[in-house]
Chain A
Amino acid sequence: MPEDLVTDCHVLVIGSGGAGCRAALEASQYGETVLLSRTLTGKGGCTIMAEGGYNAVLSEDDSTGLHLEDTMRGGAYLNDPKLAETLVIESPDRFRDLAAWGSVFDVDGDCVPAQRPFGGQRFSRTCYAGDRSGHEMIATLTEQIRNTGIKQVQETSAIDLLMDGRRVAGAITLDGNGNLGAITADATILATGGGTRCYDISTNCAAGTGDGFALGYRAGATLIDMEMVQFHPTGAVYPPDSRGRLITEAVRGEGGVLKNNLGERFMERYDPERMELSTRDVVSRSIATEILEGRGSEHGGVYLDVTHLPAAEIERRLPIMLEQFLQFGVDIRVQPMEVAPTAHHLMGGLKITPDAATTLPGLYACGEVTGGIHGANRLGGNALADTQVFGKRAGESAGKSPVFAISVDIKEVLATEAARCEAYCNGTITPHEITRELKRTMWENAGIFRTKTDLKRAEATINRLQNLVPKATTRRMLNECCTVTNMLTVARLIVHGALLREESRGAHVRQDIKQDWTPADSPFGHTVQSLFGTSIEDKRGTA
């Protein structure tokens, strides 16, 4: 085994999406920082594909109190109040950081950021750059990263956290050619993003496989609320291979209306007050109900229509939507889109403090891999804000960590990992056969509407799949095998959480449970899962 494959640094950041890039920029002020990414820097993760925008209280007529209330209400009061408060208070400052670094968000008149209305919010507070808001952020952040001395390790995966006793001391890596390595660090930040790729229909990019949840879990970290999966109301439905592709909430924010095959604006029946701009959980369930009851569109969705808007406005504010649909033969200036819900965001994740510390010493986390900020349902526009607020906090906390003298024998750890890789080389089933079955069972049995019977069925399938060994035909496929293993772990955490939570709340709906409480006075708190046990917090004092 080559010994020169060990790199040392002060802070290791795993993941180069919005949160990881922000964390690395912050951490680099304190010492040598490595930004590890399984893709090219900035190109992975969901930030670059995020379209809608960034929530920030910038107007005198708005207030962080109001933003907090919207966030908590939207989250069905499952949010960790301290995290949610940190988010709304610091989001404007982090937006200003981006401006200082050269971001080009749209303005409404000279030097006034433009803000659009988004679902579940009582104020137009979503800042945007057309419908390429996340791309604008990544462009800004990567420009800055190229200006600094941050060491970028690209197209290399973290396949396990490097443990020194209970302390996280870096990560074990696998490069694109299947070579193992290690990066040791005084502090490590998980910024690996979301994981809804374990669903058949998902908005996530190819890297949205939830590896960070699995890495953290295997290392002994505590995760909360993993059952809280946001189904975005509007994903593409046609052609088959583009099912699930995100149709931004900005379409509704700019005035798009939802209609069924009878031409009815059906949101009148589900949320007459907020209509299309209700929270995502409500709109998703409404669309799913229309489709289930036979009022769906030709390809099994409903219609999302902007044809009443002036063409010039569509071209200016929704250029990516226009372009994408044109590629598939639909001109949204004159034709309605067909949309259906798609797995979008994991609200649950690693339990963190407001300083982004996980339950493991030496490990920090930020972005979608964390839990608690968004409760049971995330508001559109809060995720991009989350990446910046907690990215900075994680970078700062990790940067201020003391130097840690590692005592573990890395050779020994690498030997164990090599054995794991060897097992994959002798595997019996292709990774994609496993993921195909996993995605299907998750979509069918752990989707928008859930029952104990279905969840148990999903659990049984996952158990069976976990007993199979994925096969790496070449060493370059080892990454894929590690990813499949991680996806199975994430799926299991989601299903276990869903079984633990015997109530409907936010994005989580248990059709087999009758309840007589509203989210605000639910007796339940977080579901908690770790290697050391699983439970749900119960305010009634019973277990």
Chain B
Amino acid sequence: MNTITFTIERFDPEKDPAPHIETYTVDVNEGARVLDALHAVREQCDPSLAYRYCCGSGQCGSCSVRVNNEPVLACMHEAYDGMAVSPLNLPVERDLMVEMKSYLQDLAGITPGIFSGYLTMEANEAIRPIRDCIECLACVSECPAIAVADFAGPTAMRQEMRIALDPRDDRDRAALTVDEGLFTCTTCQRCLEVCPKHIAIPGKAIEKLREIAHREGLTIPKHQTVAEMVRATGRSVDHIMPTVLEQVPDVIEPVGEVRGEVGFFVGCMYNGRLPDTALKMLAVLRRNGIRVIIPPEQVCCGSPLIRTGQTDFIPELKRINIDCFTKRGIDTVLTMCAGCGSTLKNDYDTPYRVIDINELLMEYGIEPPVSSSVPLTYHDPCHLRRGQGITEEPRAILRQLTDDFREMPARCCGAGGGVRSGMAEVAADLGRDRRDAIAKTGAAAIVTSCPFCEFHIGEHSAVPVINITTLLFEAYEKNDEESGEETDWKDLPCRDIE
């Protein structure tokens, strides 16, 4: 037996004006789950505690709750001393019970037919990965788009895709799902992160439904414009100043000893819209001994097209972006755009290793920067945190840059998935949500590592947004000021004008 103390958010709609936190100390068996701890509270402390449960083996989806704000199945997640249990972020009926019935009732079903044979292997394989849903509604409770837009939600989209893939139901789902908010999803992958069955709803349902919508001519005009631009120029954005690729040579040699060599995939946003940020990052690598090779013929990774279902010429983009590095014998390709990194890692099958700038800096180690006492917070880019699983590296860098690092909840800023271009209102609502979260931390600046987040949060935040490598660049400038020594690390070589 172990004795554990933990809190539960309680709410009795008949008595309580608002939810309140209660602390309980109970005896539980070794290896007890959260559900066992809740049973223990009911038996040892307060029999009125209300929570749902049934199968006890992770298959019925009744017992979703949050532990320290993360949704889990109470019957599968191990209980521990100090945990904070609260209901899912859905309307609370009582204590840990939330309203689920109306949502479940509205999930679409396939049209019953007359038996005409079993599924083909192909249909079976296609449907299977999105069929495991246990309807626990964790995804629905955490979806940022639902909070601000008229969106049916992740598992409703999963169910629509399951029907779309089923040859036994020939109704057209795409038009319907557009009305249900298909284009409001930012593909932030929060739904996948909290899914106890690991169903990749953005990649396997949302983007695929958008592909169908695209084939039927239902793509948002602004998304079509982006696709047209990529087709015509190889780039998803235009530029008003010289691009990175126009400014730098094919190879940038580091200052001093060569500690490593990478190819650099610049990405449209840094190349055309935020070239200075990219140049500062290159200077940081130059100072830290990394040789960078930059093939000028690289093009858009295709992310804005894949996210919006416009996949017609993706194979051509992939071919160019793979060939330009392999023909130079490069085995590691660096990305500093979270979206490009996620796309190269997850949507491509690259013969080279793809590494994000934060990973690279931590892997090789960096010259210690001057630390300050400026309070800083960090926004996790969705395509970095959930797309690439990178959360610790940027924090480790930040802790070297400030002794006052402040966390804030990780949530989508609203820019991804084509929402910023196609659904500006939805994106703005989510951006304002970030502004409030940033303000709550009291930080003097918000640091991030994604051009879309930088751009979008910059429009809404009251405090400045800084790219993590820019911050590092500025700290190195201070290093030089303090030491009085200065090398030419900032003087990047220029591309020869032909």
List chain A residues, Cβ under 8 A from B28. Answer: 241
* Chain A interface residue number, banded: 35 or more
Contact A206 B32 (CB under 8 A): no
For this complex, 11 residue pairs linking A to B, each with C-beta atoms less than 8 Å apart, are: A40-B104, A43-B54, A43-B61, A102-B110, A102-B166, A107-B124, A143-B107, A205-B54, A239-B30, A245-B56, A474-B48
Contact A111 B54 (CB under 8 A): no
List chain A residues, Cβ under 8 A from B116. Answer: 100
Contact A40 B101 (CB under 8 A): yes
List chain A residues, Cβ under 8 A from B114. Answer: 100
Contact B124 A324 (CB under 8 A): no
Tell which of B127-135, B258-266, B474-482 binds the partner: B127-135
A142 to B36 alpha-carbon distance, docked (Å): 29
Minimum C-beta distance from A330 to chain B (A): 11
Contact B115 A240 (CB under 8 A): no
List chain A residues, Cβ under 8 A from B31. Answer: 238-242, 328
Known pairs A102-B169, A111-B119, A432-B43 / 15 extra A-B pairs, C-beta < 8 Å? A43-B61, A99-B117, A99-B118, A100-B116, A101-B110, A113-B118, A129-B131, A132-B59, A132-B132, A139-B133, A146-B106, A205-B55, A239-B31, A324-B76, A473-B47
A97 to B62 alpha-carbon distance, docked (Å): 27
Minimum C-beta distance from B300 to chain A (A): 35
Contact B56 A205 (CB under 8 A): yes
A234 to B329 alpha-carbon distance, docked (Å): 55
Contact B120 A135 (CB under 8 A): no
Interface residues in B188-202 by Cβ distance below 8 A to A read none
**Which one, B32, B33, B50, B62, contacts A39 given CB within 8 A?**
B62
Contact A48 B48 (CB under 8 A): no
Interface residues in B10-26 by Cβ distance below 8 A to A read none
Minimum C-beta distance from A148 to chain B (A): 9
Residues of A within 8 A of B (CB): 39-41, 43-44, 48-49, 96-97, 99-102, 104-107, 109-113, 129, 132, 135-136, 139, 142-144, 146-147, 152, 154, 205-207, 238-242, 245-246, 320, 323-324, 327-328, 430, 432, 473-474, 476-477
Minimum C-beta distance from B95 to chain A (A): 10
**Which one, A110, A147, A238, A245, contacts B120 given CB within 8 A?**
A110
B267 within 8 Å of A (CB atoms): no
A111 to B120 alpha-carbon distance, docked (Å): 5
A99 to B39 alpha-carbon distance, docked (Å): 39
Contact A240 B29 (CB under 8 A): yes
**Which one, B29, B55, B115, contacts A97 given CB within 8 A?**
B115
- For A104, A136, A432, A476, the residue with the greatest tally of chain B CB atoms inside 10 Å of its CB is A104
B109 within 8 Å of A (CB atoms): yes
Contact A206 B101 (CB under 8 A): no
Minimum C-beta distance from B94 to chain A (A): 8
Residue of A nearest to B117 (CB): A111
Minimum C-beta distance from B252 to chain A (A): 44
Minimum C-beta distance from A336 to chain B (A): 18
Known contacts A39-B62, A320-B59, A324-B58; A240 and B30 CB within 8 A of each other: yes
Contact A139 B54 (CB under 8 A): no
The 6 residue pairs across chains A and B that have the minimum distance between CB atoms? A239-B31, A143-B109, A102-B110, A100-B115, A240-B29, A96-B115
A99 to B110 alpha-carbon distance, docked (Å): 11
Residue of A nearest to B76 (CB): A327
**Which one, A100, A110, A136, A206, contacts B113 given CB within 8 A?**
A100
Contact B59 A48 (CB under 8 A): yes
Indicate with 1 or 0, residue by residue over B150-191, a CB within 8 angstroms of chain A CB atoms.
Answer: 000000000000000010110000000000000000000000
List chain A residues, Cβ under 8 A from B133. Answer: 139
Contact A99 B115 (CB under 8 A): yes
Contact B60 A205 (CB under 8 A): yes
Contact A104 B60 (CB under 8 A): no
Residue of A nearest to B57 (CB): A245
Residue of A nearest to B32 (CB): A241
List chain B residues, Cβ under 8 A from A246. Answer: 57
Contact B118 A144 (CB under 8 A): no
B248 within 8 Å of A (CB atoms): no
A109 to B123 alpha-carbon distance, docked (Å): 11
**Which one, B50, B108, B118, contacts A107 given CB within 8 A?**
B118
B439 within 8 Å of A (CB atoms): no
Residue of A nearest to B131 (CB): A104
List chain A residues, Cβ under 8 A from B122. Answer: 110
